Structure 1
């Protein structure tokens, strides 16, 4: 069994000891390092690939939130805190879960099982192109066929992609960059970092705002506006 590599970041030795003992009880987890100082953890993360970080939020000099915000490609983050009110702030940084101190083993196990499932899904291909005119995406536990000309737009939402088609939408794991290889000109155009749209779905233009046929309004990046107008035949 391939183990998930973990580190712990907490300025309290007793809290680190508890999480270390919990990790030792879970066969698919492997503790690689444990830190009392977030700055040292940050240096380690820049030099090593880790699957899960268990981090306290409130620490002197450098908080767990600041630690995560310093990472360009963070692993799964499970925050550990004595304060429930920090949870919302933690989720806003992209944390997958949070554990309240004193941490119970059953709650810890639930969090790491969820992380394991997420990481397993992330490693699998979520979008398959079998024919030039259609794709299959993994969503809601099944493979769903989507004809390319049905797609109005695709929106990046963190680690997920939202495909909006005539009459509905589907969400799957993936990046917009990977979809640029599938959804490309002359039918599709990436108008900004979070959206690829079907040019046939454009209803109206107003400056740097686009209205689509479903009523959705999307802004166009300034460096994309001129190219978009040319693609739509507007001089």
Structure 2
């Protein structure tokens, strides 16, 4: 079995040791490095092959949420926190799971199996990026070319994505996080946990609801509203 390379980031030595000992008990995990400083971890991950990051949320210099945003969703992240209330914020950054301290081995095992399943799904290549302006997706037994600037919005539906363009709607088996990693154009924005939209497709905004040019209405997550308005140039 090919092992998944893991990095552990926590400013508490005991917490790092617990996660490391758990990881050593799982046959498909390999601990590549452990870090107290998230900035050092960021540099390491950008220059090495890493599959899974276990990261504390409350850390000096750079907290876990800021760390993942700086990293840009290039690895699977499992947050570790002493505060259950941080879980929702963690998921909004695209984290695969979160563990509450003190971490239990059974809960750790559930999280890493979830990460492993996600990585295996990603390798199935339901979406193939050709270049920065187009992708091919597997849908209805064939490969379909989609120009990125034609996408109105993308909706997560379990292990599937619904990709909507003006002339058609396609469904393919992959995750929203995997799709988000391919969207290199700056006008795509993850407006909430289940939706990514094309800012060019916005027709109007009414309170917490966004109407697109095709008539579709999508709610804005409260913690995304300020950033969304800034991207649209709304004060």
Structure 1-normalised TM-score?
0.64
Rounded Cα–Cα distance in structure 2 between residues aligned with 1:34 and 1:9: 6
SS at match of 2:5: strand
**8 Å contact 1:5–1:52 — kept in the other structure?**
yes
Unaligned runs of 5+ in 2: 129-136, 189-196, 205-210, 219-230
Paired residue for 2:14? 14
Rounded Cα–Cα distance in structure 2 between residues aligned with 1:70 and 1:49: 17
Distance change in 2, residues 1:167/1:69 (3 Å) = closer
Unaligned runs of 5+ in 1: 129-134, 138-142, 180-189, 196-204, 223-235
Paired residue for 2:107? 107
Paired residue for 1:61? 61
Shift of 1:125: 2.0
Distance change in 2, residues 1:9/1:167 (3 Å) = same
Rounded Cα–Cα distance in structure 1 between residues aligned with 2:34 and 2:95: 19
Paired residue for 2:173? 172
Distance change in 2, residues 1:160/1:73 (3 Å) = farther
SS at match of 1:85: helix
SS at match of 2:84: coil
Q: How many residues align?
A: 188
**8 Å contact 2:54–2:80 — kept in the other structure?**
yes
**8 Å contact 1:154–1:161 — kept in the other structure?**
no
Off by >2 Å, runs of 4+ in structure 1:
143-148, 152-161, 163-172, 174-179, 192-195, 209-212, 215-218
Bigger radius of gyration, 1 or 2?
A: 1
Structure 2-normalised TM-score?
0.64
Shift of 1:176: 8.2
